[in-house]
Structure 1
Amino acid sequence: MKLSDLIKDEGIVVVPGCYDPLTAKIVENCGFKATYLGGWAAGAHLTVTEPMTTLTDMVDLARKINVNLNIPLMIDGAAAFGNLAAVTRTVREIELTGVQAIHIEDQVVPKRAHYHKGVIDLISPREMVQKLEKALEVRKSKDFLIIGRTDAGRNKEEPFENAIERANIYASIGVDMVMVFPRNMDEVRMAPEKITAPLVYVASEGLGRPIPTPAELQQLGYKMVIYPLTPILAAFQSVRNVYTTLKQNGKSGFSQEETARLSAEVLEIISIPELIKLEEESYQ
């Protein structure tokens, strides 16, 4: 099912993050209906950091993820990787990979590393409206969703009303969804009450933001929830723990039975049984 159809259905769309083809297939294998490639996770995966991640990096990852993925992929389009002139290329390059949704943010370009310390610099609402209008104009299909993201309201002492004001400006020009960043439960409740577009909640585990359940978010009025950091944090912790054990004890800690089971599960997800069946049929 297309992502554009999923957001028309009743209920909230739960979109776990991925950072490579295998983690995307895990999302699919677990029964979720869509997955998300975020800049934070991509930058960590490539070890270049999010501010240094390029359009080419995201396009390459998206293309590789979509080769064997059977559910919709949405992507972090940063600030369109440039000024207004960059929007056309960003939207068309990403849409050509088969991605079904992009969010574009109102941060300055180039993105500052201080974003990761909670110091956020924004372009004017007028500049952002021009970017979003261009994105809506140049997309090939209306099924390719354009999500307006505002990072207003995230700086220390900044009122969340700034985010609501920008979100409604972006909603007024016809974007498909809007993304904001409530910092506490009062703001989590306030956003769907005061914003006029379908809302995406960013459940960034590890960054101190409240993480309500999908059911709670649906009840509050959100239409989608994404989990951008979860896969890279899970992988980092698991791999580091295993290799720490290997360094200390000379063994990874896996039993033979466990490695056999995990190996079989990986092969299943990447379709080895299907390839074996095709080979058997071709040799008959």
Structure 2
Amino acid sequence: MLYSQVPAHEKRRAFRERLASGELLRFPGAFNPLSARLIERKGFEGVYISGAVLSADLGLPDIGLTTLTEVAGRGQQIARMTDLPTLIDADTGFGEPMNVARTIQTLEDAGLSGMHIEDQVNPKRCGHLDGKAVVDEDTAVKRIRAAVDARRDPDFLVMARTDIRAVEGLSAAKDRARALVDAGADAIFPEAMRTLDEFAAIREAVDVPILANMTEFGKSDLFTVDQLRDVGVNIVIWPVSLLRIAMGAAGRALDTLRDEGHLTGLLDQMQHRADLYDLLDYERYNHFDTSVFNFTIAKD
């Protein structure tokens, strides 16, 4: 009932232990707290919180317009609704190294299990668009060092994302990944890898967990979990998939409503009221205070 009963530090510790085991962890992207609960219900290992999704939720493009307050607030809403670890996109850290330090502590306080900071310049662009620019190695390293130095819970995961592959090539990506690990990064997110061989090359370059971003309509092919596991990937994210599917379904439903004046033909595509109530755990609220929640859930 209400929020997760698992403290944030325990989620972080469990996340670290599973990463250390070498298994591949699947983190679908949640677009709201309810979808995070569904991800847990369906048996995944973690929840990803995408900066692109947070921006889109506000009706904004993913170009660095969101603030730390907005990101941390939405991250907290999602993290507290699930027992799973949550990994959040912190863009470029929302400023210079001192801002990065504040970002880390704010996200810790919000109950997140980890975050990633990228090496793009401000304002950033979506990682799978052309025209990106990255900062020099010294600046990228300072961001990670500030993050590592600022965190108070050593189990809070500091992941470094590098976008340099699309700008300077794979060799530069390997060099940048090594430098970020030397700066203290717990894991590496090599953005916009094009082939399995490129993921394998990053795997060989560093001795920390690596993440694969399986976003649709981007520069990477959409590899399967088994394919990524075989080349040594440790975490896979599908950052915007659930939002895209939900918005696609919503658009089709609105077309039907406009053209036919009703949605009767789409009832079998909707989440049933009983399933929603089950996901929301209405029964436990009912038991907690029957003077307020005094209804019953239909079984059909």
Q: Please give the TM-score of this superposition, normalised by the length of structure 2.
A: 0.87
RMSD: 2.1
Which digits, 9 at most, give the CA deviation of each residue in 1:95-144, with x for residues without a partner? 1011000000001122257x663211111111111111111111011110
The corresponding residue for 1:263 is 273
Aligned counterparts of 1:224 and 1:67: Cα–Cα separation in 2: 21
Q: Are the aligned partners of 1:83 and 1:109 in contact in 2 as well (CA < 8 Å)? A: no
Cα 1:257–1:86 change in 2 (3 A) is: closer
Aligned ranges for residues 162-181 of structure 1 at < 5 Å? 162-181=172-191
Which digits, 9 at most, give the CA deviation of each residue in 1:163-221, with x for residues without a partner? 11100111122211001021233323322123332111111122141122122211111
Aligned counterparts of 2:291 and 2:17: Cα–Cα separation in 1: 37
Aligned AA (1:266): L
Q: Are the aligned partners of 1:88 and 1:134 in contact in 2 as well (CA < 8 Å)? A: yes
Shift of 1:4: 1.4
Aligned ranges for residues 1-284 of structure 1 at < 5 Å? 1=11, 2-51=14-63, 52-112=65-125, 117-155=129-167, 158-181=168-191, 182-254=193-265, 262-280=272-290
Aligned counterparts of 1:215 and 1:116: Cα–Cα separation in 2: 23
Cα 1:258–1:40 change in 2 (3 A) is: closer
Cα 1:131–1:255 change in 2 (3 A) is: closer
Aligned counterparts of 1:34 and 1:226: Cα–Cα separation in 2: 9
Runs of 4 or more above 6 Å deviation = none
Shift of 1:253: 4.2
Aligned counterparts of 1:239 and 1:208: Cα–Cα separation in 2: 26
Q: Are the aligned partners of 1:37 and 1:73 in contact in 2 as well (CA < 8 Å)? A: yes
Cα 1:211–1:101 change in 2 (3 A) is: same
Aligned counterparts of 2:245 and 2:228: Cα–Cα separation in 1: 23
Gaps of 5+ in 2: 1-10, 294-300
Aligned counterparts of 1:238 and 1:94: Cα–Cα separation in 2: 32
Q: Are the aligned partners of 1:81 and 1:110 in contact in 2 as well (CA < 8 Å)? A: no
Q: Are the aligned partners of 1:246 and 1:253 in contact in 2 as well (CA < 8 Å)? A: no
Q: Are the aligned partners of 2:72 and 2:107 in contact in 1 as well (CA < 8 Å)? A: yes
Aligned AA (2:27): V
Which digits, 9 at most, give the CA deviation of each residue in 1:37-64, with x for residues without a partner? 0111111111122221221111110111
Deviates more, 1:146-155 or 1:202-211: 202-211
Q: Are the aligned partners of 2:177 and 2:205 in contact in 1 as well (CA < 8 Å)? A: no
Q: Are the aligned partners of 2:196 and 2:231 in contact in 1 as well (CA < 8 Å)? A: no
Q: Please give the TM-score of this superposition, normalised by the length of structure 1.
A: 0.91
Aligned AA (1:207): G
Query: How many residues are aligned here?
Result: 280
Shift of 1:258: 6.4
